[in-house]
């Protein structure tokens, strides 16, 4: 394996890791927003007159 090949493989792996981390981050953010909306709605109904 030459230096260029190693660098290319490293960049590809790095890109995959970043893409996966971004996807997980987006999923977590959406889940948190969903939980927050549910909690807000539940609290709203609890204290609603």
Residue 24 inside a domain? The answer is yes
Question: Could you give the CA distance from residue 3 to residue 10 in angstroms, rounded to a whole number?
Answer: 10
Residue for token pair 């539940």: 42
Residue 44 belongs to some domain of the structure:
yes
Would you say residue 2 lies in a domain?
no
| DSSP 8-state assignment for residue 48 | -
Structure tokens, 36: 């927050």
Burial 10-37 (b: 16+ CB within 10 A, else e): eeeeeeeeeeeeeeeeeeeeeeeeeeee
Is 23 within a domain? yes
- pLDDT tens digit at each of 49 positions of the chain: 578 888 999 999 999 999 999 999 999 999 999 999 998 888 777 776 6
Q: Does residue 34 fall inside a structural domain?
A: yes
* Structural domain harbouring 39: 15-49
Domain presence at residue 25: yes
In a domain, 29, yes or no: yes
What is the total count of domains within the chain? 1
DSSP 29-46: HHHHHHHHHHHHHHHHHH
């Amino acid at each position: 394996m030459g230096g260029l090949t190693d660098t290319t493989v490293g960049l590809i792996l790095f890109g995959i890791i970043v893409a996966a981390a971004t996807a997980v981050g987006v999923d977590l953010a959406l889940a948190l927003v969903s939980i927050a909306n549910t909690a807000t709605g539940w609290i709203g109904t609890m204290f609603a007159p």
